[in-house]
Amino acid sequence: MNHAADNIRILAASMVEKAKSGHPGGAMGGADFINVLYSEFLEYDPENPSWEGRDRFFLDPGHMAPMLYSELALIGKFTMDELKDLRQWGSPTTGHPELNVTRGIENTSGPLGQGHAYAVGAAIAAKFLAARTGNPVFEKETIYTYISDGGVEEEISQGAGRIAGFLGLNNLIMFYDSNDIQLSTECNAVTAENTAMKYEAWGWNVLEINGNDCEEIREALTTAKAEKKRPTLIIGKCIMGKGARKEDNSSYERNCKTHGAPLGGDAYKNTIVNLGADPENPFVIFDDVKELYAKRAHELKDIMATKYAEEETWAKSNPDKAVKIKSWFAGKTPDIDWKSIEQKEGNATRNASATVLGALAEQVENMICASADLSNSDKTDGFLKKTHAFANGDFSGAFFQAGVAELTMACCCIGMALHGGVIVACGTFFVFSDYMKPAVRMAALMEVPVKFIWTHDAFRVGEDGPTHEPVEQEAQIRLMERLKNHSGKNSMLVLRPADADETTEAWKLAIENTSSPTGLIFSRQNITKLPAGNDYSQTAKGAYIVAGSDEKPDVILVASGSEVSTLVAGAELLRKDGLKIRIVSAPSEGLFRTQSKEYQESIIPSGSKIFGMTAGLPVTLLGLVGTNGKIFGMESFGFSAPYKVLDEKLGFNGENVYNQVKAMF
Ligand SMILES: Cc1ncc(C[n+]2csc(CCOP(=O)(O)OP(=O)(O)O)c2C)c(N)n1
Ligand SMILES: [Mg+2]
């Protein structure tokens, strides 16, 4: 076993040396744990890597990529040539690991703290699927995660630790690579916390071991797997840069410098010799290590045969559920009776969203909805009323009360989606999307279809004042619509519907979007229904002409959300002056830009006179209105007052639309 761990250390150090860039120290310290995990504990089918009941391993410190790639090379997922190609253009051994289940990578990692929160989410998803389906494989699944000092220091660990302990996620085992060293200092320069006591206080089972001792790791993992009620934290005291030597062949262990740079020159050579390999030919898997992993591959065949047999026995007596599980994991769009969803005219779009969520709770068996302590305000309670929240030892419900922890909630939801088999949505106030942005970005990069519900979309939050009134948030989040993912598609879909019926359409698009995250932005206040005869199915085009618009318009008015109905009010006044008006509702500019050029031209012809109104920054509409048009938006933070007063004071009424547009002629 020690030889195998040394093999990982040799490969990790050599990859970084060859790339002239990367992080050898942490990887060398963590090698013993990952070796024990993969050679003795992790249960999966090498032939069928996406099998739904597999154990999963979520890496938190993405900088320890060389450790993961080296281990995955030992199990045959990467070749020596690919290891030699670390961090190079087109190589699968990217600087930080990127989601690739076929290759054994369960999550993209890099922003410290997020990875282990995904694991918490995956553990929740496994519990939920076990409760919902009764398929025994979900009950037996173990979610492993690996965290380092940086991840423990990140604030998100507070939320992830609290939730895992609170929910009693005994299917979660977290290894903490406690090497007392971080990027720029030793850990004792920034913290004196008792991490074991902290996790114990959250209800975790905490074990403290020598993280470089194979026997102790094995014993800890065995104990953790036997735990019935609590998640387990294994604090492994590891040696940063284990086995590393300096130029003069003295110890290079426990040294910050090995965190993020190649060992370099003679230090590298001395290290490789010290670890028992040839510096001229280091990319080798030792014969005994090959044997060890061949033995494991053989064991996995037996392990999997048992699991498959168990699943098959269950499937025989639960054929319908077995078919459903397959379609859930294939990410199929669920059948929903959208036509039967009736919206109340003039309702706030957050309430309209609650109506949809109520239908989804009833019709989508594998959906989980979450809120960060705002369910009665963000109206995810439309879902909650039809189910109940997860509790310690009880995952028969489908609602995840995350507590006040937006980033944690977002990452847990991403983790659920990464686990697969579930459709996930989470809600909070739009202004607090700021607290979630790092997770939204990762969801976009990983192409994970989490639905983000953001309510209280503008200054019309009113009395709560500027702290609670989003202004720049819509422009910010819409930048993600412009950013392409690696599949060449918009990395995110962002929809801000104009009334209750458009909200149903927006939700439909969100559910049908299975290849990127969706942001749904809803109003707090009631919104007047769009003119009679409006063709709501046009929402799917991203921008469309609202019913009642005139032929050959003198001016085109563009907005999203509740500003569309303000434009409608303004248009009535303008028409009295003989002007012909077109009103365009643009719930998603990103979606609009994916339509044909002809369609785009037919809605907003270039060269026409365009006026846009937004409760966000004017730049929110710049892409649609262009620099020759005029945009009326918020130029400052909002203010504290009843929203109707704010509408008047800030100019969000039909009268001001009239004045602004008249000034263009
Ligand atoms: C959110 C976030 N902030 C900062 C960084 C940059 N960074 C990468 S690793 C690291 C700290 C490394 O310490 P540790 O996690 O203990 O890893 P080790 O040095 O032991 O390998 C930092 C600050 C990051 N990757 N993510
Ligand atoms: Mg460290």
Ligand of minimum distance to the alpha carbon of 442 = 1
Match 């929203």 to its residue by tokens: 643
- Atom from ligand 1 closest to the CA of residue 177: 20
Q: Which atom of ligand 1 is nearest to the CA of 23?
A: 21
Residue having the nearest C-alpha atom to atom 23 of ligand 1? 183
Give the residue whose CA is nearest to atom 22 of ligand 1: 183
Strand partners, 494: 519
Cα(548)–Cα(286) distance, rounded to whole angstroms? 75
The answer to whether the CB of 413 falls within 8 A of the CB of 149 is: no
- Position 334 scores a pLDDT of 96
Q: Cβ distance 423 to 368 under 8 Å? A: yes
CA dihedral 380→381→383→388, nearest 10 degrees, is 120
Q: Give the integer Cα–Cα distance in Å for 263 and 13.
A: 7
On whether the CB atoms of residues 341 and 400 are closer than 8 A, the answer is no
Q: What are phi and psi of 348, to 5 degrees?
A: -65, 145
**Mutation probe of ligand 1 site: the residue of 109, 114, 149 with most atoms within 8 A of C-beta:** 149
Which of 204, 203, 150 is CA-nearest to residue 174?
204
The Cα 550–Cα 289 span in angstroms is: 76
Rounded CA gap, 282 and 288, in Å? Answer: 16
Q: Rounded to whole angstroms, how far apart are CA atoms 207 and 226?
A: 13
Alpha-carbon dihedral of residues 181, 182, 188, 194, nearest 10 degrees?
-90
From the CA of 49, how far away is ligand 2's center (Å)?
Answer: 30
Residue nearest to atom 17 of ligand 1 (CA): 182
Distance 186 CA to ligand 2 centre (A): 8
CB 403 within 8 A of CB 165: no
Relative to the CA of 154, which ligand 1 atom is closest? 1
pLDDT at res. 180: 96
d(CA 375, CA 613): 30
CA 264 to ligand 2 centroid distance, Å: 20
Supply the residues annotated as catalytic: 406
**Six token digits for residue 359:** 């239908």
Of 183, 184, 191, 258, best ligand 1 pocket probe by most atoms within 8 Å of the beta carbon: 183
The ligand whose atoms approach the alpha carbon of 154 most closely is 1
**DSSP designation for 532:** T
Tokens, residue 424: 């996930």
Q: Is 312 exposed, middle or buried (0-12, 13-18, 19+ CB in 10 A)?
A: exposed
Pocket test for ligand 1, best of 109, 154, 259, 407 (most atoms within 8 A of CB): 259
Ligand closest to Cα of 151 equals 1
Distances (CA, A) of 454 to 131, 135, 433, 449: 29, 34, 7, 15
Q: What six digits make up the tokens of 597?
A: 């050029």
Secondary structure of 538-570 in the HEC alphabet? HHHHCCEECCCCCCCCCEEEEECCCHHHHHHHH
State the CB neighbour count (10 A cutoff) for residue 642.
11
CA of 150 to the centre of ligand 1 (A): 5
Q: Which helix H or strand E contains 488, and what residues bound it? A: none
Residue 234 is inside which H or E element, if any?
A: strand 232-237
Q: Which residues are CB-contacts of 450 (< 8 A; sequence separation ≥ 6)?
A: 410, 413, 414, 417, 424, 425, 426, 443, 517, 518
Q: How far apart are CA 455 and CA 453, in angstroms?
A: 7
Mean pLDDT of the residues in the chain = 97
- Residue nearest atom 13 in ligand 1 by C-alpha distance: 182
Q: Which atom of ligand 1 is nearest to the CA of 149?
A: 16
Confidence (pLDDT) at 6:
98
Site to substitute for ligand 1 among 67, 96, 112, 254, most atoms within 8 A of C-beta: 112
Does an H or E element contain 611, and which? strand 610-613
From ligand 1's centre to the CA of 97, what distance in Å?
14
- Rounded to the nearest angstrom, the distance between the alpha carbon of 27 and the centre of ligand 2 is 10
- As a whole number of angstroms, the distance between CA 74 and CA 35 comes to 9
CA 631 / ligand 2 centre spacing (Å): 50
Neighbours of 275 (CB within 10 A): 23
Which helix (H) or strand (E) segment holds residue 75: the answer is none
Angle among Cα 119, 124, 126 to the nearest 5 degrees reads 95
pLDDT per position as a tens digit, 330-359: 999 999 999 999 999 999 999 999 999 999
- pLDDT below 50 — which residues of the chain? none
- Taking a C-beta distance cutoff of 8 angstroms, is the pair 565, 523 a contact? no
Sign of the CA dihedral with 480 first, then 486, 489, and 495 last = negative
3-state secondary structure of 604: coil
Are the C-beta atoms of 252 and 246 separated by less than 8 Å? yes
Query: Ligand 1: residues whose CB is within 6 Å?
Result: 25-26, 61, 63, 110-112, 148-150, 179, 181-183, 240, 259
The pLDDT of residue 139: 97
What per-residue confidence (pLDDT) applies to 199? 98
Closest ligand 1 atom to the C-alpha of 26? 21
Q: Which one, of 270, 280, 356, 353, lies nearest residue 522 by Cα?
A: 353
Which of the ligands is closest to the CA of residue 29? 1
The atom of ligand 1 lying closest to the CA of 259 is 19
Q: What is the dihedral of CA 304, 306, 311, 314, to 10 degrees?
A: 180
Read off the pTM: 0.98
Cα(242)–Cα(252) distance, integer angstroms: 8
Take residue 522 and report the two structure tokens written for it. 């809803």
Q: What is the DSSP string of 169-207?
A: -TTEEEEEEE-SB-SSSBGGGT----HHHHHHHTT-EEE
**What is the CA(435)–ligand 1 centre distance, in A?**
20
> Looking at the CA of 61, which ligand is closest?
1
**Residue bearing the CA closest to ligand 1, atom 7:** 183
Pair 29, 211: CB distance under 8 Å: yes
As given in the structure block, the two tokens for residue 76 are: 């045959």
